[in-house]
């Protein structure tokens, strides 16, 4: 396993700047996610790391080796594409062996490594089958085995689960993490699916317009977003504007049209009078009848979607229509004419720069 280091990387396509002076370090053995909306630059960064794109400025290091201008086949990376790119006229075993044959590995070594790679993805009993005889999930496993069989320094995955149905996606998330950890691989994984990144990644980089907006462990990025963009992109949130009117016991007090909230800040220090944006996740609100609960707000349930284990509400206050999720719902069938309160702990109210 190796580290991957990006220094001041810039990539242009004509007048468009796809990557803008990026700096990033990925630790050995880490499963690292590049996450963001379409067009944010995540696939461009992955292809630059793979060697398919040569940047205009900056450097890429694998460990201590500068690989910025090395061709792809000299970087010792395994690449798994969204389309899988499997050869339909070959068997499973032949597909997996292809990269080793190109590298002139001996037949005995090829057979041994193909068997090991197929066993690692639980496909050893399908070695003689043709690709068209496999399900989508099985084809995904073959593509993963083919990327791993060359024993890459780094495994690169470009939205590998996007063609699978929901059930298979969830199953393969865990399988990819298991395989990478068992093999000790440094893996860089591109996706626009937040749940995929949250459930599989060791760390996440959220990208936007060629910039990295935030890097950190999944729970940190989700619970402590650094900006409006990250808060809004990483799942659902309520965004409320306000002004800082004081600080006490490690919390800032923010006056909003809804009420004065006690909130937390992470990585910056607002001053008295600063305009801020509060981010409050729907699942952090607590429905009840206690007017004295932390950050309590009165209102009524205006809309509801009952999902069994959870209910989703639109909660109407005097100024806002809040999004609220309730697990094991107790208020799903309460009358829309009944007055209720929602409350939220100060630790779950995140104050962000307004800009």
Task: Report the pLDDT averaged over residues 159-165.
Answer: 79
Cβ atoms 134, 126 nearer than 8 A: yes
Cβ atoms 288, 329 nearer than 8 A: no
Residue in 276, 260, 287 with CA at minimum distance from that of residue 344: 287
> Model confidence at 242, in pLDDT bands (50, 70, 90)?
very high
Residue in 67, 50, 59, 64 with CA at minimum distance from that of residue 21: 59
User: How far apart, in Å, are the Cα atoms of 155 and each of 5, 28, 31, 95?
Assistant: 15, 12, 9, 17
> Model confidence at 172, in pLDDT bands (50, 70, 90)?
confident
> Model confidence at 236, in pLDDT bands (50, 70, 90)?
very high
Q: In the sheet that 4-13 helps form, which strands lie side by side, from edge to edge?
A: 16-26, 4-13, 57-62, 65-66
Strand partners, 9: 22
- 3-state secondary structure at position 21: strand
* Confidence check: pLDDT of 144 > 90: no
- Crossing angle (nearest 10°) for helices 92-102 and 107-120: 130
Strands in 274-339 per DSSP E: 275-280, 286-288, 297-306, 310-316, 321-327
Domain boundaries, the chain: 4-228, 236-353
Residues 89-98 have pLDDT tens digits of 899 999 999 8
- What residue has token string 């206050």? 317
Cα atoms in the Cβ-side hemisphere of radius 13 Å centred on 160: 33
| Residue 41 burial by Cβ neighbours in a 10 Å radius (0-12, 13-18, 19+) | buried
Residue in 42, 59, 45, 56 with CA at minimum distance from that of residue 12: 56
Strand partners, 243: 255, 275
* Confidence check: pLDDT of 84 > 80: no
**Percentage of the residues of the chain whose pLDDT score is greater than 90:** 68
Tell me what pLDDT residue 298 has: 96
- 134 torsion bin: left (phi>0), alpha (psi -120 to 50), beta (else): beta
* Confidence check: pLDDT of 82 > 80: no
Task: Report the pLDDT averaged over residues 174-193.
Answer: 88
User: How far apart, in Å, are the Cα atoms of 113 and each of 110, 119, 144, 185, 186?
Assistant: 5, 10, 14, 16, 19
> What is the fold of 4-228?
Rossmann fold (3.40.50)
Distance CA 285, CA 296 (A): 9
Which residues have a Cβ under 8 Å from the Cβ of 355 and sit 6 or more positions away? Answer: none
Cβ atoms 261, 252 nearer than 8 A: no
Confirm or reject CATH 2.40.50.140 for domain 236-353, answering yes or no.
yes
> Model confidence at 137, in pLDDT bands (50, 70, 90)?
confident
Cα dihedral 99/101/107/109 (nearest 10): -30
* Confidence check: pLDDT of 106 > 80: yes
Tell me what pLDDT residue 30 has: 96
> Model confidence at 169, in pLDDT bands (50, 70, 90)?
confident
Q: Which has more confidence, 11 or 100? A: 11
Tell me what pLDDT residue 19 has: 96
Task: Report the pLDDT averaged over residues 43-58.
Answer: 95
């Amino acid at each position: 396993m190796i580290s991957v280091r990006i220094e001041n990387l810039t990539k242009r396509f004509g007048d468009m700047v796809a990557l803008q002076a990026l700096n990033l370090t990925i630790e050995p053995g880490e499963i690292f996610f590049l996450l963001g909306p379409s067009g944010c630059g995540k696939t461009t960064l992955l292809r630059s790391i793979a060697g398919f794109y040569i940047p205009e400025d900056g450097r890429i290091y694998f460990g201590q080796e500068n690989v910025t201008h090395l061709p792809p086949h000299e970087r010792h990376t395994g690449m798994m594409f969204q389309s899988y790119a499997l050869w339909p006229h070959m068997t499973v075993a032949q597909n997996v062996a292809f990269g080793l044959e190109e590298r002139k590995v001996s037949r005995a070594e090829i057979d041994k490594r193909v068997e090991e790679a197929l066993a690692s993805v639980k496909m050893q009993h399908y070695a003689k089958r043709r690709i068209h005889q496999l399900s989508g999930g099985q084809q995904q496993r073959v593509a993963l085995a083919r990327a791993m069989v060359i024993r890459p320094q780094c495994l690169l995955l470009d939205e590998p689960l996007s063609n699978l149905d929901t059930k298979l996606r969830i199953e393969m998330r865990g399988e990819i993490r298991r395989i990478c950890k068992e093999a000790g691989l440094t893996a860089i994984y591109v996706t626009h699916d937040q749940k995929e990144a949250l459930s599989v990644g060791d760390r996440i980089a959220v990208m936007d317009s060629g910039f990295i907006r935030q890097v950190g462990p999944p729970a940190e990025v989700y619970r402590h977003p650094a900006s409006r963009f990250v808060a809004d992109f990483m799942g659902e949130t309520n965004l409320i504007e306000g002004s800082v009117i004081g600080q006490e016991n490690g919390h800032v007090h923010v006056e909003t049209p809804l009420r004065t909230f006690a909130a937390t800040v992470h990585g910056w220090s607002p001053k008295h009078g600063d305009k801020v944006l509060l981010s409050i996740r729907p699942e952090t609100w607590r429905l009840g009848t206690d007017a004295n609960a932390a950050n309590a707000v009165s209102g009524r349930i205006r809309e509801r979607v009952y999902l069994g284990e959870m209910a989703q509400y639109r909660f109407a206050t005097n100024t806002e229509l809040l999004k609220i999720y309730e697990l094991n719902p107790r208020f799903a069938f309460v009358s829309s004419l009944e007055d209720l309160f929602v409350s939220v702990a100060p630790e779950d109210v995140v104050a962000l720069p307004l800009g």
